[in-house]
C-alpha cells in the first residue's frame, strides 16, 4: 500500500516548463543541436537532473521510425565458442526486433586485427548505433575503436576487454575466478594428491593467462599435495592438443588431473577416450560445446566451466539500450557468472 508511485515519469514537456524554456530548446539540448547559448543549455541540463528526466527510448525510436542498430563482430574459424556467441545473437534477433532493436553479426577472420579494424572504420553511424567486438589487444584496433567512438558509435568489448580504449563497456567473466574455481574443484576431487597437468592455448592470450594465474594461486594456497605439470601450449588446435594429451598420459601413467584452460577440446576428448578407464585423471575444461558435452556424457571430462555466451549476448543487448540513452553515463550490467557443468546438470 505504501509508495503507490502514481507520479508520472518526467517528460520533455516537464523539463521545458521546469527550465522556463520552450520545447524546441529542450530538444536542441537533448539532441546536441546547435543554436543554444551555454547559459540556456545549463538551465536545461539542471532541470533534467532535478527532475530525473530520462528520454523514453521507445518513444524516441518510434518517433525516428528507426531501430536501434547493433553490430556484433565475432571471430570466424573453427572455434565452437565463437559460433555459440553468433548463435545466441541470431536466437535473440527476433525478440529484439519487437523492442525496436536490429541486431546483425559480422564474422571476421580470427586473430586478424586488420580486418576487424577495417570493419569498424567502415561503420556508418546511420547504420550502427553500437558495435560489439571480441578482440585481442592490438594498437590497430584500439585506434579503430577510438575513431568509431568519435563518429558517435558506442563500442563495447565482449569476452576480452580492451583497456585504455574508448570502449563504453565490457562484458565478460572473471577469468581469474574461473581458474581459481578449477583448482578448487580439482583439489577436492583429489584429496590424496598427485600430478595435475595444465594445458593452455597460448600464453600470449590475456584470458588464458588470467585463468592460469587463478589456478596456480589456489593450488599453492589450498592444495599443496598437488604437483603442477606445465603449463603446456596446445594453441587451441585439435590435433596439437590431442598429441599433447596422449603424450602426457604415456609419460605420466599416474596423472591425477588435467585442466585444459584453452580450446582444442575435441583433441582432448579424443585422446582421453582412447585410454579411458577407472584410473583416468579428473578433467576440467572450458566452454560448453558439442565436444565438451560429449566428453561430459562419456565421462572423459568431469567438469566444464562455461562462459555463458547466451547470457553475455543478453547483457550486451541490455547494455546497448542503456548506452543509447545516456551518451556518456556509466552503464551497469549484471555480472556474467561462470557456469559449472557436470554431466548431471547439462542443459
Q: Pick from 25, 135, 165, 184: which binds a copy of itself (CB under 8 A)?
A: 184
| Residue 109 touching a copy of itself (CB under 8 A) | no
| Residue 35 touching DNA (CB under 7 A) | yes
The item of DNA, a copy of itself, none sharing an interface with residue 334, based on CB under 5 to 8 Å by kind, is a copy of itself
User: Judged by CB under 8 A, which stretch of 74-82, 118-126, 187-195, 229-237 contacts a copy of itself?
Assistant: 187-195
User: Judged by CB under 8 A, which stretch of 22-30, 115-123, 158-166, 189-197 contacts a copy of itself?
Assistant: 189-197
User: Judged by CB under 7 A, which stretch of 10-18, 207-215, 263-271, 286-294 contacts DNA?
Assistant: 10-18
**Residue indicated by cell numbers 603449463:** 231
Burial bucket for residue 94 (CB in 10 Å: 0-12, 13-18, 19+): exposed
Binding mask 201-240 for a copy of itself (x = CB under 8 A): -------------x---x----------------------
> How many residues touch a copy of itself (CB under 8 A)?
44
Q: Which CB sits closer to DNA, 58 or 224?
A: 58
Q: What would the grid cell of residue 97 be?
A: 526486433
Q: Which CB sits closer to a copy of itself, 166 or 177?
A: 177
E-assigned strand segments in the chain: 68-75, 101-108, 130-133, 154-158, 169-171, 194-200, 226-233, 255-260, 282-286, 303-306, 339-341
Q: What would the grid cell of residue 270 be?
A: 579424443
* CA distances, 230 to each of 63, 249, 304 (Å): 59, 13, 20
| Residue 100 touching a copy of itself (CB under 8 A) | yes
| Residue 169 touching a copy of itself (CB under 8 A) | no
Q: CA 155 from chain center: how many Å?
A: 13
| Residue 192 touching DNA (CB under 7 A) | no
320 φ/ψ angles, rounded to the nearest 5 degrees: -60, -40
Cis peptide before 127, with omega less than 30 degrees from 0?
A: no
| Residue 40 touching DNA (CB under 7 A) | yes
Q: What would the grid cell of residue 139 be?
A: 594498437
Nearest to 339 by CA among 318, 309, 315: 309
**Which residues sit at the interface with DNA, rule CB under 7 A?**
8-9, 11-13, 20-25, 27-28, 30-31, 34-37, 39-41, 53, 55-56, 59-60, 62-65
Amino acid at each position: 500500500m505504501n509508495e503507490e508511485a502514481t507520479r508520472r515519469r518526467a517528460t520533455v514537456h516537464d523539463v521545458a516548463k521546469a527550465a522556463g524554456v520552450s520545447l524546441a530548446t529542450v530538444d536542441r539540448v537533448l539532441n546536441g543541436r546547435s543554436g543554444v547559448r551555454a547559459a540556456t543549455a545549463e538551465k536545461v541540463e539542471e532541470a533534467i537532473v532535478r527532475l530525473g528526466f530520462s528520454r523514453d527510448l521507445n518513444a524516441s525510436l518510434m518517433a525516428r521510425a528507426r531501430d536501434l542498430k547493433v553490430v556484433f563482430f565475432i571471430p570466424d574459424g573453427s572455434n565452437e565458442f565463437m559460433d555459440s556467441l553468433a548463435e545466441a545473437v541470431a536466437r535473440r534477433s527476433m525478440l529484439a526486433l519487437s523492442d525496436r532493436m536490429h541486431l546483425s553479426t559480422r564474422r571476421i577472420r580470427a586473430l586478424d586485427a586488420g580486418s576487424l579494424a577495417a570493419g569498424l572504420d567502415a561503420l556508418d553511424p546511420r547504420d550502427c548505433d553500437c558495435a560489439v567486438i571480441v578482440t585481442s589487444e592490438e594498437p590497430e584496433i584500439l585506434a579503430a575503436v577510438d575513431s568509431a567512438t568519435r563518429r558517435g558509435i558506442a563500442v563495447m568489448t565482449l569476452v576480452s576487454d580492451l583497456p585504455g580504449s574508448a570502449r563504453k563497456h565490457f562484458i565478460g567473466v572473471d577469468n581469474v575466478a574461473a581458474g581459481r574455481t578449477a583448482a578448487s574443484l580439482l583439489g577436492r576431487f583429489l584429496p590424496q594428491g598427485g600430478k595435475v597437468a595444465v594445458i593452455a592455448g597460448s600464453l600470449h592470450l590475456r584470458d588464458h593467462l588470467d585463468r592460469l594465474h587463478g589456478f596456480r594461486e589456489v593450488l599453492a594456497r589450498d592444495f599443496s599435495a598437488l604437483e603442477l605439470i606445465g603449463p603446456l601450449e596446445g594453441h587451441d588446435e585439435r590435433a596439437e592438443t590431442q598429441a599433447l594429451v596422449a603424450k602426457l598420459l604415456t609419460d605420466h601413467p599416474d596423472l591425477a588431473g588435467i585442466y585444459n584452460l584453452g580450446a582444442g577440446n575435441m583433441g582432448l576428448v579424443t585422446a582421453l577416450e582412447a585410454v579411458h578407464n577407472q584410473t583416468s585423471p579428473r578433467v576440467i575444461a572450458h566452454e560448453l560445446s558439442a565436444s565438451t558435452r560429449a566428453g561430459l556424457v562419456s565421462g572423459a571430462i568431469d567438469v566444464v566451466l562455461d562462459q555463458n555466451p547466451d547470457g553475455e549476448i543478453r547483457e550486451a543487448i541490455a547494455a546497448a539500450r542503456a548506452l543509447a540513452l545516456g551518451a556518456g553515463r556509466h552503464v551497469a550490467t549484471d555480472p556474467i557468472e561462470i557456469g559449472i557443468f557436470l554431466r548431471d546438470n547439462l542443459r
